[in-house]
Amino acid sequence: MPETEPTKVCPLCAETIKAAAKVCPYCRRSQRGIFFLSRYDLFAVFSCLAIIAAFSFGWHLWGTRRQFSPAQHKITVLSTQFGVERNGDRTNVVMSGMLTNASAYTWKLTGFEIRFFDASGKTVDAAHAGSEYLELTVLPHAERSFRLDLPFREIVPAHASFSVTVAEAKPPGFWLDSN
Ligand SMILES: [Zn+2]
């Protein structure tokens, strides 16, 4: 190999080859293309992924510690209506409405408490609705609509008045928890 010709080391087999080579004459591996990654490139990519994973995990731990109870009074149900839905053999009372989040955080709402009162204000029935898997996320200082099934209820209980409160909520996942 003439000394004037620029050379490089093949990152795959470590032989000295011409700098302009498109294919290594020793190991026949391509020296170009998007799938060509040296061990240094792989290390850099792996490091980036590890940093993102660690950051995401740390954020998740931080988010999980955030408690809902201090913010509970800041989530208010603005309006509600009941309906009865028939789906094949199944009949289910459905509650829908609007709610507002006056807190500075995003919450994933997982539990609602519905209380029915008679004319004297005595509780005649209470129902719990919602679950861990409910996709009901409300952004900070925002309103959103909601729709919940009242399990094991085929008719709306007779009542003079009712109340709806958000009983359980948790911080959402990493991407939405930016506040
Ligand atoms: Zn090579």
CA of 145 to the centre of ligand 1 (A): 61
**25 alpha carbon – ligand 1 mean position (Å):** 7
CA of 9 to the centre of ligand 1 (A): 8
pLDDT of amino acid 52: 92
Report the C-alpha gap between 1 and 60 in whole angstroms: 57
- Is 113:177 a contact under the CB 8 Å cutoff? no
Give the pLDDT of residue 179: 41
Residues measured by CB to lie within 5 Å of ligand 1, the ion = 10, 12-13, 24, 26-27
**How many A from CA of 151 to the centre of ligand 1?**
66
Q: What is the mean pLDDT of each run of 10 residues along the chain (179 residues)?
A: 77 88 88 65 89 84 75 93 89 94 93 95 93 89 94 89 93 59
Residue 60 is predicted with a pLDDT of 72
CA 169, distance to chain mean position in Å, is: 13
Structural domains in the chain, sorted by start: 7-65 (no CATH), 69-170 (2.60.40)
User: What gap in Å lies between CA 149 and CA 130, rounded to an integer?
Assistant: 8
- Write down the pLDDT at residue 77: 94
For residue 1, report the distance from its CA to the centre of ligand 1, in Å. Answer: 16
Question: Ligand 1 centre and the CA of 48: distance in Å?
Answer: 27
Q: How many angstroms separate the alpha carbon of residue 22 from the centre of ligand 1?
A: 11
| pTM reported for the whole predicted model | 0.61
Quote the CA–CA distance of 105 and 179 in Å, as a whole number: 6
Judge contact between 132 and 110, C-beta under 8 A: yes
Question: Could you tell me if 108 and 171 are in contact, meaning their C-beta atoms sit under 8 angstroms apart?
Answer: yes
- Per-residue pLDDT, 10: 87
